[in-house]
Structure 1
């Protein structure tokens, strides 16, 4: 009995090892044959090769779907050629597709050139293969062959080519492809149209993208999402939310991804009313607060200045990861609540989530904006030693900001000089900002030179240096900088303030008189200034960085964009409701003082989000503690 068992076991091992050594195609073909045993199983008990009868297309396709390497695909290809099946377009297309999936673009192209019969799928597959490996030159060559051969491009081939123009930001080729689209009457095809809108937007031709969008007779959700995202990414979130309103009017149903795009636009503008509308939509559609949606909503409420709502979303999330925790830490940091950010960090550790580089950026930022110098230094030194997170330029930038705000500018400069990681514009900007605040003119000149070597055509760096000179009263140097800007035709980035009233976003610039209610706004501003003077407010003309007389400086200060927006809110919104503003630049010291006084005499809470952080003014006090 024992001998019989050993003999059977030996036979079993032999049969299994023989099976493992069969060529891949025979295994796949055998699997396909076994799947249809009634039709194909051999009638005799003797062993029959899968190739003892003619191959059938379904065997080839089954084998291709099971292939795991290029060598296996080549084996199948050889059998196809031997059996004269390459003339079958379906099989040829499937071979092309599988080669493309394995990124074997050379084999794919050789096969493509050998195929005698082709259809639109053939061209689509080969274009997709070149796109997959990033061979854009080869892709355009194939597309040129397609046109020269008189093949009609369709809604499968064209989107591949249009997306490559988008990825390369090649608007010249994009325009040529657009012309071909029009020639074949496919501009209103929703797949092609959506790809064109996306390409125009990514190439920075937003007006062209919007024109295409408006001309489309039918717009699917993808097209709406692409256009909303395009406006948000180019800095025009105002138009993004206008499209959202239009979607609601046309009863377009958003999915989770489209909703996240709208949430991003709300975050950009700090549009609280729109944020609540979107949140209500999420509740009605019962979208689960997963990591993507939940984190986007936390960021939205953070940038709308409502940290309590951000916290509620965080608590209600069905799952959290390190990005969610880091976003919540950043929320506290942007509101100057550094201690709570640190508490959140330790809660994250207790939950079993390990910090990453982004977590420490959020944490160090929070320490910087709350003046927690020693805590920031301790976390910075512990990054690598305790958590194996190597500091990069973003962490050094936070530390330079932390030291610079505290007046320890020499230490910040020493830290920059000792760095081994590559320096970027953000780092030098943080140091230049510290020089501006604390009047380090000579160091500011060195830092500005480093910045201008990195980006010689960015006007903002010239303006920063000009402001340093102006604060020091060096008006001749200010004049030199302004002349240099004029000769170089570089334009200063304009300051804007946005405010949401009755679900509509209004935008103000300094000295703006374009608003329909300008007369009321300036009347309110005059009334406010009279009341503020009685309360003890004195305009701080040191923030007017121009060589004009004192009266001219006061006049310029009085029409700053955030002051106009506050006056409009007092005219257009009910008493006791919070005033929420968003400014694209750092708020100046005089506007900061003005806002504190207005919050005291009007008993209105003013939440101002500037380029760096949030300021919550209440009863004459700012949440930043005047440390900003």
Structure 2
């Protein structure tokens, strides 16, 4: 692919010498080549050429320039390019709003959307779905409802992109009733629509409802994706339904996601939370590569079941493989040391976390140590430890101390 892009950029240079006038098609093609090569230098050269030939304001060229800067330079470069062209094309506005929303720069997305509205341009389905995504990122239900009303007024509510974005907004704001209402109104619901409902139920703790929607999705039929399987497995874990985990696992094995890392991580987590740590370990050992999430999933699985030795063995193996532990890894290990009464090992690990791994303790880590000392009956040491916490101890820390056995 890169070879073809290099050839394309070379042909463009030769074309510049042989032909007096470059057309927009050539400019957009070579800008795609710049993206393929991740060459912002080439992209800037094409930008200069487009300015000289007066094609920089041509919508297709401008769109390609924004895309190139976003993928090779950064959003700031894309914004500079956007500010240099006439602002009479809603597609370009939509592109910039989308960039900001996808980068979680929601304030800038809102600012641009308001400017677009004040310029008398009518939002299209892409600008509406992008600004709704920004609302969902926050999440801002009131503002999202206002944009929903605006979408109804201009007749875009039934557009698939807008409908999916509205469903996501309401789901993230824990309003599954409104999300379902939008879903029911869609004429051409796709896998994203189904996934949004499943994810919404799973994240809201309604595992049984998520599983019901998954069954309806399969009967529709709509194709299951990585998001589908990982979200359904999360729902299985929340209901501690080992039968459902097994059924979903069978479906995964028959699908193209049978070696997908994200799905296999979800299987590890689900089997562990349903009490089948051996099955979780089997999935872990069959993975081609173990990322940090994979290690944390299996270590946390052993920790939840009180298997301190196996959790520590995996932690040591993880370090030997050059995987850097994070705060989640240490919460799992400190928790299992606390539940199994391994005080000296827990205190040693806590110090190692700070000194050897460079991880600043969070309130969750402090809570683990207070629980560790409290369960061992070392209430005075626990109180002294609370006094050494740099910031004000949370209610959880004090609660753990108060519940410690006397």
Taking structure 1 as the reference length, the TM-score comes to 0.56
1:148-169 deviation line (CA, Å, top 9, x unaligned): 34x3x33322211211121232
Cα gap change, 1:89 to 1:308, in 2 (>3 Å) = closer
Cα gap change, 1:290 to 1:83, in 2 (>3 Å) = closer
Mapped to 2, the partners of 1:236 and 1:266 lie a distance apart of 10
Aligned pair partner of 2:75 in 83, 97, 103: 103
Unpaired segments of 5 or more residues in structure 1? 1-27, 43-49, 439-628
Aligned pair partner of 2:338 in 362, 365, 368: 368
1:444-477 deviation line (CA, Å, top 9, x unaligned): xxxxxxxxxxxxxxxxxxxxxxxxxxxxxxxxxx
Q: Which residue of 2 aligns with 1:355?
A: 325
Mapped to 2, the partners of 1:239 and 1:378 lie a distance apart of 44
Matched, 1:32 2:12: yes
Cα gap change, 1:127 to 1:334, in 2 (>3 Å) = closer
Q: CA deviation at 1:263?
A: 0.7
Which aligned runs of 4 or more in structure 1 are off by greater than 6 angstroms?
67-75
Q: Which residue of 2 aligns with 1:227?
A: 197
Q: Which residue of 1 aligns with 2:170?
A: 200
Cα gap change, 1:372 to 1:158, in 2 (>3 Å) = same
Mapped to 1, the partners of 2:99 and 2:303 lie a distance apart of 46
Mapped to 1, the partners of 2:250 and 2:126 lie a distance apart of 37
Q: Which residue of 2 aligns with 1:145?
A: 118
Q: CA deviation at 1:60?
A: 3.1
Aligned pair partner of 1:399 in 369, 373, 379: 369
Cα gap change, 1:425 to 1:289, in 2 (>3 Å) = farther
Q: Which residue of 2 aligns with 1:136?
A: 109
Q: CA deviation at 1:277?
A: 1.0
Mapped to 2, the partners of 1:110 and 1:385 lie a distance apart of 48
SS at match of 1:156: helix
1:49-99 deviation line (CA, Å, top 9, x unaligned): x7xx22322443356453879898676555544433355332233334445
Mapped to 2, the partners of 1:270 and 1:354 lie a distance apart of 30
Matched, 1:177 2:147: yes
Unpaired segments of 5 or more residues in structure 2? 1-7
Mapped to 1, the partners of 2:348 and 2:124 lie a distance apart of 60
Cα gap change, 1:77 to 1:322, in 2 (>3 Å) = closer
Q: CA deviation at 1:365?
A: 1.0
SS at match of 2:174: coil
SS at match of 2:84: helix
Matched, 1:93 2:60: no
Alignment of 1:572-583 (within 5 A): none
Q: CA deviation at 1:195?
A: 0.7
SS at match of 1:285: coil
Which structure is higher in strand share?
Answer: 1
1:100 and 1:108 in contact (8 A); partners too: no
Taking structure 2 as the reference length, the TM-score comes to 0.84
Q: Which residue of 2 aligns with 1:217?
A: 187
Q: Which residue of 2 aligns with 1:432?
A: 402
1:290 and 1:319 in contact (8 A); partners too: no
Q: Which residue of 2 aligns with 1:445?
A: none
Matched, 1:310 2:310: no
SS at match of 2:238: helix
Q: Which residue of 2 aligns with 1:17?
A: none
Matched, 1:161 2:134: no
Q: CA deviation at 1:32?
A: 0.4
1:497-553 deviation line (CA, Å, top 9, x unaligned): xxxxxxxxxxxxxxxxxxxxxxxxxxxxxxxxxxxxxxxxxxxxxxxxxxxxxxxxx
Q: Which residue of 1 aligns with 2:4?
A: none
Cα gap change, 1:219 to 1:351, in 2 (>3 Å) = same
Q: Which residue of 1 aligns with 2:244?
A: 274
Aligned pair partner of 1:259 in 215, 229, 239: 229
Which structure is higher in helix share?
Answer: 2
2:237 and 2:271 in contact (8 A); partners too: yes
Larger Rg: 1
Aligned pair partner of 1:337 in 307, 322, 328: 307
Aligned residues: CA RMSD:
3.0
Cα gap change, 1:274 to 1:373, in 2 (>3 Å) = same
Mapped to 2, the partners of 1:350 and 1:304 lie a distance apart of 29
